[in-house]
Structure 1
């Protein structure tokens, strides 16, 4: 059985991704900051809970140490934890958004690499956004053109670049970034838009279960590779 870790998985796309991977027979670890909510979410789908705060080095190290001790490897890593950062633009806000959306990817990836290298078919998926695509935000025909989320967009551009750079430095592991589609979650509630998290999670799962001949170092949506 394949072993998967999904960060920020107690709700939204992360929870649905964990659920669908579990339904496919994976051993799934639900990573979340809140022990009570994360534990309940994991129990509801027959997954395992591991406390994981992507902004805390000790938390990340402990979570991956637990998975390593229990499983000995990691086959699928989904970077799903993220924040919108719509509370205004200043230094502290920028640090908070980038710490979660970009630096968190570095923390978790670096801690996970030894376990991913032990997998026969390692896949890493970053739930990024086309809001971080220069092509999209400068194209008047795209909805991202009018999205007033500077810190979110900039941090997602960083998340996608990290994905590409990891793909180059770790050729034995597939790294892909994903635009999951506009999804109705707690994060987008203020906008009143989006499809169900189940639909977007299905896109994540397809990318997380790629075969050895699958792409790496790309930003994709359900239709294929995106310019960015």
Structure 2
């Protein structure tokens, strides 16, 4: 990595919004060296290779990281430390949606990735972010995690569905605020990035397209805009398709 590059780690980036975020950053600027976080290194390598076939301006490489496994998270942090000595931007993007019919099991599965995994990765990489001259910490959230909208009969998010996933994204809102309160005195910029309803294989893409879902590159650009600093006026908040997403 060239010394002048901004080092960005995006978890869950071998596909979907994470991949599109990386693509948006790399196509638009030579400022970034992107680490594609992936549970399966084979898939991550293939995704990095696919990006390299495009006219990207920055640099990209895969890195193995399973956010549910402490050993994997710690190994990824150790690799970044020994290779680069710092991290400039962490994008907590990895997330899952469970179709497990048993609510208690679905909650455990989802929270392990979408909440506990986020804390695990953030805490492991905070020492490396502190070595950056302009550290940036980003949580990829969702409008379905907004309690205000969930309680509003006039909102499209007023529906008793996907309880486990929605609760995990509501928890992410609190994590965002708490890290912002904690880290702003250390020159950190902490954000939430809400890509909106996007047609990825996270759920059935054709089904969500019928509900007005946008294509993955749109969601990736919404997250990339936060990474680039386009939304810095909204630091400490969840930046979404309509401005600042309500809590």
TM-score (norm 2): 0.87
Question: Secondary structure in 2 aligned to 1:220?
Answer: strand
Q: 1:188 to 1:212 in 2, by over 3 A?
A: closer
Deviation at 1:206, TM superposition (A): 0.8
> In 2, distance between residues paired with 1:159 and 1:84?
15
Pairing partner for 1:192 from 203, 208, 216: 208
- Say whether 1:94 aligns with 2:100: no
Deviation at 1:215, TM superposition (A): 3.5
CA contact (8 A) 2:231 2:239 kept: no
Pairing partner for 2:93 from 80, 91, 96: 80
> In 2, distance between residues paired with 1:66 and 1:196?
33
- Say whether 1:110 aligns with 2:123: yes
Pairing partner for 2:51 from 45, 60, 72: 45
Question: Secondary structure in 1 aligned to 2:167?
Answer: helix
Deviation at 1:214, TM superposition (A): 4.2
Matches within 5 A, 1:134-145: 134-145=147-158
Deviation at 1:125, TM superposition (A): 1.4
Indicate the residue corresponding to 1:148 in structure 2. Answer: 161
Indicate the residue corresponding to 2:235 in structure 1. Answer: 216
Pairing partner for 2:181 from 168, 177, 197: 168
Unaligned runs of 5+ in 1: none
Unaligned runs of 5+ in 2: 53-59
Deviation at 1:58, TM superposition (A): 0.7
Q: 1:39 to 1:215 in 2, by over 3 A?
A: same
Question: Secondary structure in 2 aligned to 1:182?
Answer: coil
Q: Deviations over 1:163-196 (max 9, x none)?
A: 1101111112111112211100001316332111
CA contact (8 A) 2:234 2:244 kept: no
CA contact (8 A) 1:123 1:210 kept: no
Specify the structure having the higher radius of gyration (Cα).
2
Pairing partner for 1:19 from 23, 29, 53: 23
Q: 1:12 to 1:213 in 2, by over 3 A?
A: closer
153-162 vs 115-124, which moves further: 115-124
Q: 1:73 to 1:214 in 2, by over 3 A?
A: farther
Q: 1:155 to 1:143 in 2, by over 3 A?
A: same
